[in-house]
Structure 1
Amino acid sequence: MSERVIPGRTGGLITLGAADVLWARLTAGSAVPTASAAFTRSPANARAGYVLLGSRVVATVEVSGGRWSVPEIEVRRAAAELNVVEMDRQNLVRIGPFRNAQKQEHNERTPLRWRQRITRELEELGDPERAARCDGGRPHHLAGIDWRRILVEETRDRTARTWWLPRAVVRLLDAAEHTETQWLQAARTRQESAAATEPPSHHGQAPAADGRQTTSPDCPTTPPRPYNGELKGHLYSVLSRKPGISRKVAGWMCAICGTAPAAVLDHCHEHGYVRAPVCQSCNTQERPDHLYSNDIRVANRYIRLFHTGTADWLRHWHRCPGCRARTTLPLPHLAAWTAHIACRSLRPTHRDPRGSRARKPCGALRVSWTGSHNAPGSCLLTVTVDLCPSGEHRVLARVPYREAAERFGTWLAETAPAVAAAAGPDRLDGLPTRFRPVIVDTSGEGLGLF
């Protein structure tokens, strides 16, 4: 079958308009919605020397007459990568707004910084006058992804609103942000090396309109390397103060999913040890939702951890020497496990209002505890059902901390014997003699690196 000819093709290069058409056509059946103007509308800027498509950088080339083109094969490769991404619209990650978020100036030449861009656009659209001036029917896309079509906005008490995106899209945009940073660093290094070793020449390639040299589509980037326990046993309070640690963290792949570049150092807030570098998506998935300093709600996204990749998550939590030696979990994680696993048979159910014979678990699980955070062994865990459809608020169980820890140890040996075998009370040397206070992140500001 002959391939359809695309107008504007010259020697493997196609115009930006033709690239828009090709991208939209190739990704029409993708689970992730894409924009129809990925090359020609903001924030895409071909004059910067590249355009982001999904997690891939597509270099742009200036041809005769000051026109810009892109290699057709690169557009096709980016579309093929995006088309294999699976997206669960129910598996959401909160992306804002967060308190004390850093304000940052934006223009057409700044890197992706997709969270700040989305926040800015949504704040503009929240003001009718600004929306009329700024919207103008423009497509809302980042890295070729039409994020407005999958954004979920939740409003509570008619005042507090939050924004959510599917986890698969968050990982794509995080990877795009990382790829762009690596690409710019590689391009800058090549320019500095060329300037240092070659005399000025008037026969080379013309610089781009913003002063940067247009780079080759084959400009190399250094891919993130797998994490192999290099930070094992390090205290977060010490490591986070070392210069250059943020750049070092960004050089690893996420130690949990292994598909996205790392962005933060996940650490045990109870014992203070670093677990591993992880991506933003896995970092939000790993953290229970604190309502108050001694109260958590066991959200559905967190419950999945005890059913999908359970051994991997348990192994990750036990990267903390304190948790591994005591064969337990930090207090909030142990509380969530107690509510969902140990008290599962106690949770009431309701008939599905849509007429299905299946019964749905009642409301949402909440766990609170009394006692000192410095000595979790004295805590009493209280498991409660909130948001019951019938208006009830039921106390399911009150479990002493020591009993919860013993139940967890038994369950761990049955569920993940390899993880349990690596734990035990024979590795207490060098561990703190008393627990650190549990540090609570109630606002989501922990999405920053440190």
Structure 2
Amino acid sequence: MSERVIGGHVAGLITVGAADALWAGLTVGSAVPSASAVFTGSPTLARGGYVLLGRRVVAAVKASGGAWSVPEMEVRRAAAELGAVGMDCRDLVRIGPFGSAPAPHPVHDEGTLLRWRERIARELQKPGGPERAPRDGGHRLSHLAGVDWRQILVERPRMGMAGSWWLPRTVVRLLDTAEHTETQWLHTARTRRIDNAVIEPPPHDGQAQAADAWRTTSQNLPTAPLRPYSGELQGLVYSVVSRKPGISRKVARWACAVCGTAPAAVLDHCHEHGYVRAPVCQSCNTQERPDHLYSNDIRVAGHYTRLFDTDAAVWLRHWHRCPGCRARATLPLPHLAAWTAHVACRTQRPTHREARSSRGRKPCGALRVSWTGGHHAPHTCVLTVVVDFCPSGEHRVLAHVPYREAAEQFRTWLAETVPAVAAVAGPDRIDDLPTHFRPVIADTSSEGQALF
């Protein structure tokens, strides 16, 4: 399609129908699949004064005749930003389910906030799931910030358990940023409306006056830039910090302390020692989450390759923001168990010949590690590394590793892998650490925020 807008173009504004056509034509080749009818489909927030497209808020104005219009240049910018986003369909983030269905949130005057995880959860938990997309004009979700998430959603079934939902990491970070942008935009608009009491378009006729109104309502509403995290919460206890008034808004103003690109959403903290590590985005927080089967049993999933191999320096530095883990030069027990299975026992894992090739071999089954006891009683804690779902029908116990041996192996590996992190860790000074440790349990909250 030509990028030229055929009709409905006055003073830089185009009708929502023309905006739909323009958006579809500009995003047809983007790696992230775009949704159609983002301005006229369900749900559309034009009636609230804006439409959210990717990381950008596109303001909408209403002419005297009741027709909605949007600025053409903003649609083009939003499409260009989405088209510049690359996507690795193999790098997935688990987005749920983490518990019971979330409770509904109220509808605001400006529209319904994105809260994309909750929206996906509600739609997938309805009869028919994503295949029965909202074609009936109802209030069910049709797109997320202009992204057609159904095309890239991955559902992974589990034997005897509810399945899990996954999206590419790039899309998760895009939607997290969109959610942050919308919240900031609405907060700024509400503040200016209260201060100036002139945020609504003036009661004049014609699209030219509507364009002036758009320039007042949109261009003068910048979102606050994210600031990098510089250790402001270092050494503070999460149970105290999380109860401070306004802490959620303060966290949202930081960039994620791990990836540095997406807005922070939660305070990551050590469940064993209780200390705040840093504010992180939902994507990084989910990546760090151990894949629990039970409170003392985890599956060694594919994301551990990033945590302990490709991005090990970043994650080890992040985990050692906890004074307890840094003083002991170790990791929280679920992470130490995953490291032991993924790294220390890597050479012990058997392989099988590929079914379709006479050359290659693949690792046997799926790794799982469980433990008895806890970190506060290291002399009784033992990690057991097991291979499940062996193609030959076997279930093999690879190793029984005492906690102290696993911790010592980790210290040696840490010094070789990331000397800069190892240099500031230890010796084991625990005088000022909490004496009562929180037990290690699986996260069952619907928000999925209380992560390790």
TM-score, structure 1 length as denominator?
A: 0.89
Is 1:19 aligned to residue 15 of structure 2? Answer: no
Shift of 1:135: 7.1
Distance change (3 Å), C-alpha of 1:429 and 1:139: closer
Counterpart check, 1:230 vs 2:256? no
Question: Aligned pair 1:445/2:442, yes or no?
Answer: no
CA RMSD, 1 decimal: 3.1
Task: State the match for 2:174 in structure 1.
Answer: 172
Match of 1:331 in 2: 333
Between stretches 245-254 and 308-317, larger displacement belongs to 245-254
2: distance between equivalents of 1:33 and 1:341?
Answer: 36
Amino acid paired to 1:232? Q
Q: Aligned-pair distance for 1:127?
A: 8.0
Calculate percent identity across the aligned residue pairs. Answer: 70
1:423 aligned partner, one-letter code: A
The amino acid that maps onto 1:276 is A
Match of 2:367 among 357, 365, 368: 365
What's the offset of the Cα at 1:323? 0.5
Which of residues 163, 180, 183 in structure 2 aligns to 1:181? 183
SS of match in other structure, 1:190? helix
Select 1:321's aligned residue among 320, 323, 333. 323
What pairs up with 1:236-247 in 2 under 5 angstroms? 236-247=238-249
Task: Give the equivalent residue in structure 2 for 1:280.
Answer: 282
1:382 aligns with 2:399: no
1:153 to 155, 158, 163: 155
The answer to whether the 8 Å contact 1:351/1:357 transfers is yes
Amino acid at match of 2:95: I
Write the letter of the residue equivalent to 1:439: V
Q: Which residue of 428, 432, 436 corresponds with 1:430?
A: 432
Per-residue Cα deviation, 1:300-349 (whole angstroms, up to 9, x for no partner): 12332112221000000000000001111011111111111111111111
Alignment correspondent of 1:49:
49
TM-score, normalising length from structure 2? 0.89
Query: What's the offset of the Cα at 1:66?
Result: 2.1
The superposition leaves residues 44-87 of structure 1 with CA deviations (integer Å, 9 ceiling, x where unpaired) of 22121111111211111223522222112211211121122222
Structure 1 position 103, deviation (Å):
1.2
Q: Which amino acid aligns with 2:29?
A: G
Instruction: Check the 8 A contact 2:63/2:205 in 1, yes or no.
Output: no
Q: How many pairs does the alignment contain?
A: 441
> Cα offset for 1:354?
2.8
**Which residue does the alignment assign to 2:6?**
6
* Separation (CA, whole Å) in 1 of partners of 2:216 and 2:448: 33
1:25 partner amino acid: G
Unaligned runs of 5+ in 2: none
Match status 1:248 vs 2:235:
no
Distance in 2, Cα, partners of 1:148 & 1:166: 12
Contact kept, 8 Å, 1:60 with 1:217, in 2: the verdict is no
| Paired residue secondary structure (2:398) | strand
Which stretch has the larger CA shift, 312-321 or 238-247? 238-247
Listed as ranges, the gaps of 5+ residues in structure 1 are: none
Post-superposition Cα deviations, 1:98-118, rounded to whole Å, max 9, x if no partner, equal: 323431056692211212222
CA shift in 2, pair 1:95/1:200, >3 Å: closer
